[in-house]
Structures are given as structure tokens and as C-alpha cells.
């Protein structure tokens, strides 16, 4: 069905779509990457992503976490909190690890591909 999008001028919506899709893919990649180092609360993940300026609003993260959890990439357990309600403590699963490896690989491929193209253009 995608040929529909490529006909005539690529209008603004498609650019937005492409950007959002890219950002979403990278976000998922980053979440897995953060969790591969340490188990974390949602708020920890948010903090790291905010520091890296990958997200602006926190609400973005929750649907992604739930989806990844449902897809079997993540699991969680409930942890007591000194302040406030019990919180979900996320862990990456084995499936998540192998998925992350795939993402690492394709990320590196993409980076080198884009590097190569950019070098050609600047020549």
C-alpha cells in the first residue's frame, strides 16, 4: 500500500511520519540499550533519555514500555518505593537481548552507510 505515499509530492505529513517512525525506532533501541546495562524504573529510563535529549515529554515512554513488555522483550517486577506507590522495575529478557543485538548490528550498518554517502557528497 505504500506506493500511495510515493505518488506526487511527498507532502508534509509523510515527512513527519518518517521522522516520527525513525525517532520511535531509535527510542526503542535506546530503551533496550539502557536496560541492558541495568534494571531500571521507568523514571530512571526517562531521566537518561531526557539527558540524551531523546524525549521531550515523559508520556511518550509508557506506551513503548508496555508494548515492548507485551512483545516479550522486557519483563518487570513490582518494587516498594520509599515515597509513593510501588513501582515497576523493568528487566530486559533474553529475547530482548537478541533483539538488541540485531538492532546494534543494523544501527552500525546504517551509520556506516550514511557516513559513506555523506563523504561522497562532500567530495
Partner 1 sequence: MKTTVKINLSGQIFDLDNDAYQALKDYLDAISQRFRDMEEGAEIISDIESRIAELFQSKISEKKEVITIEDVNDVITIMGQPEDYLEEESVNEESGKSYSKSRKSKKYYRDGDNAILGGVCSGLGAYFGIENWLMRLLWVIFFFATGGGPLFILYIVLWIAVPKAVTAAEKLEMRGEKVTVSNIEKTVKEEYETVKENVKEGYEKVKTSKELKKTGNVIDEIFHVIGQIVLVFLKIILVIIGFAFIVSGLAVLFALSVAVFFRDSILSTEIFGAPIQSFNEFFGILGDPTSMTLISIALFFAIVIPLIALIYAGIKMMFRFKANDKMIGLTAFVLWILSVVFLVTMAAFEGWNFNAYGRSSTNHNLDTFSSDTINIRIVSDPGIEGFNNDWYFSYDNSWTMISTEDRLYGKIDLDTAPGKFDDYELSIRKNSQGRDRAQASINAGRLDFEWKLDENTLILDPYFSLEKPNKWRSPGTKVTIMVPPGKYIRLDNNTRYFLRNVETVEDIWDRKLAGEVWQMTEDGLVSVD
Residue 81 is placed in which grid cell? 518505593
**Which residues does residue 91 pair with via DSSP β-bridges, in sequence order?**
75
Please report, as residue ranges, which positions from 63 to 102 form the binding site for partner 1 (by CB under 8 A): 63, 65-68, 70-71, 78, 80-81, 83-88
Q: Which stretch binds partner 1 (CB under 8 A): 15-23, 32-40, 100-108, 114-122?
A: 15-23
Half-sphere exposure of 4 (CA within 13 A, CB side): 2
Task: Please choose, out of 29-37, 61-69, 101-109, 115-123, the segment that lies near partner 1 by the rule CB under 8 A.
Answer: 61-69
Note whether 112 binds partner 1 by CB under 8 A. no
Alpha-carbon distance 114 to 48, whole Å?
26
Give the nearer residue to partner 1 in terms of CB position, either 17 or 118: 17
Shortest spacing between CB 114 and partner 1, in angstroms? 21
With cell 543485538, the residue in question is 101
> Edge-to-edge, what's the strand order for the sheet holding 40-41?
40-41, 87-92, 74-79
Report how far residue 59's alpha carbon sits from residue 85's, in angstroms, rounded to the nearest whole number: 18
Question: Under the criterion CB under 8 A, does residue 30 sit at the interface with partner 1?
Answer: no
- State the minimum distance, in angstroms, from the CB of residue 39 to partner 1: 17
**Cβ-based nearer residue to partner 1, 38 or 81:** 81
Amino acid at each position: 500500500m505504500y506506493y500511495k505515499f510515493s505518488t506526487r509530492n511527498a507532502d508534509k505529513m509523510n515527512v513527519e511520519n518518517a521522522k516520527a517512525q525513525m525517532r520511535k525506532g531509535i527510542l526503542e533501541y535506546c530503551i533496550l540499550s539502557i536496560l541492558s546495562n541495568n534494571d531500571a524504573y521507568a523514571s530512571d529510563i526517562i531521566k537518561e533519555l531526557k539527558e540524551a535529549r531523546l524525549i521531550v515529554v515523559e508520556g511518550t515512554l509508557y506506551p513503548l514500555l508496555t508494548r515492548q513488555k507485551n512483545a516479550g522483550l522486557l519483563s518487570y517486577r513490582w518494587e516498594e518505593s520509599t515515597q509513593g506507590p510501588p513501582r515497576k522495575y523493568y528487566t530486559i529478557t533474553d529475547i530482548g537481548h537478541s533483539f538488541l543485538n540485531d538492532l546494534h548490528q543494523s544501527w552500525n550498518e546504517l551509520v556506516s552507510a550514511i557516513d559513506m554517502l555523506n563523504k561522497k557528497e562532500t567530495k
